[in-house]
Chain A
């Protein structure tokens, strides 16, 4: 019989956003329990493993052994495989390091543990407990035994397939056009380039892209995301990815050693991420960048804010929605504008034809942009293909 638990802050899910939240709550002086339904933090990996790096100091992450490759930049391939190269600083949420995600997640969990967080593995939340309309904890199952964890602040960090948020009463539903269905192989014996993360646009991956992220010499994550609203038959993500590999001899000769899949939200920011006694963070809060599909940076940045506010709330004894709104305001100030802007850009890009992609990348291919932003890109495109930029007038 497992005894019921009481704590100040309960975090459900020990991914990057969960560990980051738990760590900063503990550093703020709160007693923190973090539960993880899997038996091993970080495994199995469900990630392309590309991430930017400029945000790491902001949240207190020290680069460690989890880095596989430090890339110089990204290459964007148009449908006819014209290339636009972007250096790492400008390339967005998925370019900088290619990481060993299981090692990364464990490193963050170790940071949390060192800060005093109590971690329970093989422990799933099975129900959110509410009293008088406010969240007071969860019913959890650890090694098959059900017990209750009570906390004045409960945090859902349970990833894309979050149920804790919905059980708590926050609307997290997304539209079909706001989700990518993804599949990735790790392949050995391929011609990937250690200097670049590669992205292939167009009908090879409707509404998404094919990515190649180098893990080591001849080893790479080769994956695809396809917008669910553009899926026509069953298993199409796999069909598209296999077709892409078949068409690329440098990859067709390789061998698959691993396969992962998953859903990625490419939605606008949620309207609400807090309620009385409850906060939602990371992929569970749909904080994934809708343009790149990258979720780690945003999850960690919001996690720090979330954990800090959770500790303050627990200590003042005010865990009402009104107090927790500090987190809501904090993450919005830091992330919302970009999330929304990138969602608008995604909405546009998912409608473009292969011919238009070719023109855009062709126009950019030879250009050195001082600063990579929508305005400069459109200016460069306008000089070569003025008819293309007509489609984008709304953006200017």
Chain B
């Protein structure tokens, strides 16, 4: 199981989790919907597998608070 890319999505925008938590409420909605199972939630940290992610943006829609952006 490769886990990479803590804190930032592969493109430009960042996924504010560990560093700020200003948007993310660690609810896991993105984890559950990801069709490739490449997002992981520890209690206060979300990581994703940069190599697997296809930027399908489904997690962006699933996030209730807008904490995920793909630039």
Which A residues are within 8 Å of any B CB, using their own CB? 37-39, 44, 46, 124, 126-127, 159-163, 166, 173-174, 176, 179, 181-183, 228, 231, 234-235, 237-238, 259-263, 265
Given contacts A228-B61, A260-B25, A261-B27, 13 further A-B contacts (CB under 8 A): A159-B28, A161-B29, A162-B32, A166-B37, A181-B29, A228-B58, A228-B62, A234-B63, A238-B66, A261-B64, A262-B64, A263-B33, A263-B62
B69 within 8 A of A: yes
B32/A161 in contact, CB under 8 A: yes
Q: Which residues of B contact A260 (CB under 8 A)?
A: 25, 27
Q: Secondary structure of the A side of the interface?
A: mixed
B65/A261 in contact, CB under 8 A: yes
A181/B42 in contact, CB under 8 A: no
| Sample (27) of A-B pairs whose CB atoms are under 8 Å apart | A126-B1, A127-B1, A161-B28, A161-B31, A174-B32, A176-B33, A176-B58, A179-B32, A181-B64, A182-B29, A182-B64, A183-B64, A228-B61, A228-B62, A234-B63, A234-B66, A234-B68, A237-B64, A237-B65, A260-B25, A260-B27, A261-B25, A261-B27, A261-B29, A263-B27, A263-B28, A263-B62
B32/A263 in contact, CB under 8 A: yes
Q: Quick one: closest B residue to A234, CB to CB?
A: B66
State which size class the interface on B falls in. 20 to 34
Which B residues are within 8 Å of any A CB, using their own CB? 1, 25-33, 35, 37, 40-43, 58, 60-66, 68-69
Given A179-B62, A237-B65, check contact A163 B27 (CB 8 Å): no
How far, in Å, is A87 (CB) from chain B's closest CB? Answer: 31
Given A160-B28, A238-B65, check contact A38 B33 (CB 8 Å): no
Q: Which residues of B contact A174 (CB under 8 A)?
A: 32-33
Q: Which residues of B contact A38 (CB under 8 A)?
A: 43
Given A260-B25, A262-B28, A263-B32, check contact A235 B66 (CB 8 Å): yes
A179/B33 in contact, CB under 8 A: yes
Partner among B1, B37, B61 whose Cβ is within 8 Å of the Cβ of A181: B61
| C-alpha gap A37/B62 in the complex (Å) | 23
Q: Which residues of A contact B28 (CB under 8 A)?
A: 46, 159-161, 262-263
A-B pairs with lowest CB-CB distance, top 5: A235-B66, A263-B29, A161-B28, A161-B31, A237-B64
Given A235-B64, A238-B66, A260-B25, check contact A163 B58 (CB 8 Å): no
| C-alpha gap A291/B67 in the complex (Å) | 27
Q: Quick one: closest A residue to B66, CB to CB?
A: A235
A235/B43 in contact, CB under 8 A: no
How far, in Å, is B25 (CB) from chain A's closest CB? Answer: 5
Given A124-B42, A262-B27, check contact A160 B32 (CB 8 Å): yes
How far, in Å, is A312 (CB) from chain B's closest CB? Answer: 31
A235/B37 in contact, CB under 8 A: no
How far, in Å, is B57 (CB) from chain A's closest CB? Answer: 10
Q: Quick one: closest A residue to B24, CB to CB?
A: A261
| C-alpha gap A124/B33 in the complex (Å) | 20
Partner among B32, B40, B42, B65 whose Cβ is within 8 Å of the Cβ of A235: B65
How far, in Å, is A196 (CB) from chain B's closest CB? Answer: 25
| C-alpha gap A46/B1 in the complex (Å) | 27
| C-alpha gap A179/B28 in the complex (Å) | 13
How far, in Å, is A311 (CB) from chain B's closest CB? Answer: 29
| C-alpha gap A159/B1 in the complex (Å) | 20
Q: Which residues of B contact A161 (CB under 8 A)?
A: 28-29, 31-32, 41
Q: Which residues of B contact A39 (CB under 8 A)?
A: 43
Q: Which residues of A contact B31 (CB under 8 A)?
A: 161, 163
